[in-house]
Amino acid sequence: MARPTHAVKFCFFFKRIFRIQAAEPPKEVKEIFDEYSSETGTMTIDDLHKFMIDFQGETDATKERAQEVFNSLKHLNIFHRKGLHLHAFFRYLIGDRNTPLPSQVHHNMDSPLAHYFLFTGHNSYLTGNQLSSDSSVDPIIKALKKGVRVIELDLWPNNEKNDIKVCHGGTLTAPVDLIKCLRVIKDNAFIASDYPVVITFEDHLTADLQA
C-alpha cells in the first residue's frame, strides 16, 4: 500500500536594508569650504561669519546669526563641536537657514508667468497633518503673508450635496467652507506681493456643484 504524500509549502522572507546616500557636495562647494575653513578642515563660527559677509554679501550678518546656524546643526552626526565639517556646511547651504537673497524683487519680471519658479503651497488649508487635522483659513492667511503665490484647495461636496467644502478627502480632516477660503485669499493675496496668485482646485465635485 502506497504511503500518502503531503504537500508542504515553504515561505521565505528576505529583508534587505538600503541606505539612502546623502547628496555629495559638488566640487564648487568643496572649493569654497576649503577657502573659508581653518587648517583643521573645519569651519569655525568666525570662518562662517566671514563667508556670510564676503561670499554671500550678507553685510548685516552677525556672529550671533552664525552661532544660530551652528546650533541648528548640532543634532547631525556630521556636526563637530569645534566647527562645521564639509557635509554640515553643505547642509546649511541647502537648508532653510541659508536665505541670503534680498527681500526685494531682483529679477526681470517682464517675462510670461511660466518662465518663473513660484513659491507654492500644498494643502494650503490644513492646520496640521493630512489625516486628522482641522481645515481652516488661518494657514492660507499665513501662507499669503509669507509671499506664497500658489494656494491649493481640495473641493468636495458637503454632506447635503448642496454646497462645497474644502478638506483632505478620505481622511478625518475637518472641513472649512470654500467661500471662507476665497474671501481670505481676496483679502490677503497682495499683502506680501503685487504679483499674481494662482489658485489650484483639486476637483471632486458633482456636475451641478462644478457649475
Using the Cα atoms of residue 22, residue 26, residue 29 and residue 33 in order, give the sign of their dihedral.
positive
Query: 45: part of which helix (H) or strand (E)?
Result: helix 45-54
Contacts of 23 (CB under 8 A, 6+ apart): 90
The C-alpha atoms of residue 143 and residue 185 are separated, in whole angstroms, by 10
Annotate 74-85 with b (16+ C-beta within 10 A) or e (fewer). Answer: eeeeebbeebbb
Question: Among residues 85, 115, 168, 204, which one is catalytic?
Answer: 168
Told to judge if 106 belongs to the known catalytic residues of this protein, a careful annotator would answer no
Angle at 50 between CA 44 and CA 53, to 5 degrees: 145
Which phi and psi (to 5°) does residue 80 adopt? Answer: -120, 135
Told to judge if 122 belongs to the known catalytic residues of this protein, a careful annotator would answer yes
Question: Among residues 80, 106, 122, 204, which one is catalytic?
Answer: 122
**Residues involved in catalysis:** 122, 168
